[in-house]
Amino acid sequence: MNYDLEDKLVIGAQIKIGEEYAKDSTLFQAGDIITLIEGEFEYDNGLYTEYQSCPSIVNDGEYESIYHLFGNKLEDFKDCEVISL
C-alpha cells in the first residue's frame, strides 16, 4: 500500500487525471479534475451489515471509492496527480 498517497487522497482533495490512467478509463479523459467526497458503503462482515465511509466520487448515482478507482493498494493511480488538499 502506498500510505503517502493514501494520506493525500482525502475528502476534498482534487485529482487531475493523467494520460496513462485515462487510456484505461471509461469514466475520465486526461486532464479531468475530480474532487473527492465522503462516500458511504455497505459492508457485510458475515454476521451483519454495517456502513463504512471513505473518499469517493459519485458515478451514475453510486459511490466509487478511491480503492475502486485506483486499485486496492492504489497501484492504478499511475500518472494522476493530487493538485490540492
pLDDT (0 to 100) of residue 84: 82
Mean pLDDT of 69-81: 95
Q: Would the pTM count as exceeding 0.75?
A: yes
pLDDT over threshold 70, residue 85: no
How far apart, in Å, are the Cα atoms of 52 and each of 21, 38, 43, 44, 56? 27, 10, 7, 10, 12
Question: With contact defined as beta carbons under 8 Å apart, do 55 and 38 qualify?
Answer: yes
**pLDDT tens digits along 1-50:** 677 899 999 999 999 999 999 999 999 999 999 999 999 999 898 899 99
DSSP-derived 3-state class of residue 9: coil
Quote the number of domains for the chain: 1
Residue 78's domain spans which residues?
3-84
> 55: pLDDT confidence band, cut at 50, 70 and 90?
very high
Nearest Cα neighbor of 11 from 71, 66, 75, 76 is 66
